[in-house]
Amino acid sequence: MDFEILQREVLFQGRAFDVQRLALRLPDGRVRPFDLVRHNPSISVIPVTADGKLLFVRQYRVGVAGTLLELPAGVLDEGEDPLVGARRELREETGMDAAELVKLGQAYLAAGYCNELMHFFLARQLSPAPLAQDEDEFLDLEALPIAEAYAMARRGEIHDSKTLAALFLAAPAIE
């Protein structure tokens, strides 16, 4: 398929993302407008404690006007290596660092309208190494046994898509 972006116009530029209107030539020659949320790549980390628990954060999310239980995650700084960003976010959100940090994979979160690519990491051999949280983060740390976390996911009690994707990718190594 031959698609060609003919034009980009920034409609909105925010702190975390911008919105662009694209003029896209379709394979049949027609030109159609598409809206794109341009977002830096991001990371999600699956921290596993020595006693077989997963570290989650519970935080308010404006998109659902409520709190969600999530694995630690964050947006990469411009040009930041995903491994470096994963370590930073792990330390900021859980107060822990990992001697073992292994990339599990990556996925686009909403490719129909957004270019955000999330990198997933498994973190083991944790030790205290806190960094200050972002000024707008108010997180509650929760440690759940691995089996309970997967049971909650299967029962539909975890509603965060990146957390569900991370648990799926980590399952062969930890479940």
The tokens describing 160, both together, are: 């965060």
Say whether both 70 and 123 belong to one domain. Answer: yes
The whole-number pLDDT of residue 3 equals 94
Indicate which CATH number applies to the domain containing 96.
3.90.79.10
Check whether residue 19 and residue 47 sit in a common domain: no
129 pLDDT band (50/70/90 cuts)?
A: very high
Instruction: State residue 163's pLDDT score.
Output: 98
CB-based contact 47:105 (threshold 8 Å) = no
Domain range enclosing 29 = 4-39
Indicate whether 133 pLDDT > 80. no
Both 11 and 94 in a single domain?
no
* Three-state secondary structure call for residue 28: coil
Q: Is residue 114 part of a domain?
A: no
Whether 134 has a pLDDT exceeding 80, the answer reads: no
Residues 164 and 152: their CA atoms lie apart, in Å, by 10
CA gyration radius for the chain?
18
> Which DSSP string do the residues of 148-173 spell out, in sequence order?
HHHHHHHTT----HHHHHHHHHHHHH
Same domain, 51 and 96: yes
Q: What is the pTM of this model?
A: 0.93
**What is the total count of domains within the chain?**
2
| Candidate from 15-24, 69-78, 111-120, 127-136 with smallest mean pLDDT | 127-136
130 inside domain: yes
- 67 in the same domain as 9: no
pLDDT at position 100 is 97
> For 36-47, what is the mean pLDDT?
97
Identify whether residues 143 and 156 lie together within a single domain: yes
Task: For residue range 48-107, list pLDDT tens digits in order.
Answer: 999 999 999 999 999 999 999 999 999 999 999 999 999 999 999 999 999 999 999 999
Q: What is the mean pLDDT of the segment spanning 23-41? A: 96
Q: Using one digit for the tens of pLDDT, what is the confidence trace for 145-172?
A: 999 999 999 999 999 999 999 999 999 9
Residues 110-114 have a mean pLDDT of 94
Q: Per-residue pLDDT for 1 more than 80?
A: no
Contacts made by residues 152-160, CB under 8 angstroms, sequence distance 24+: 152/69, 157/69, 158/69, 159/64, 159/68, 159/69, 160/68, 160/69, 160/70, 160/71
The answer to whether position 14 is within a domain reads yes
Judge if 9 and 92 occupy the same domain: no
What per-residue confidence (pLDDT) applies to 136? 79
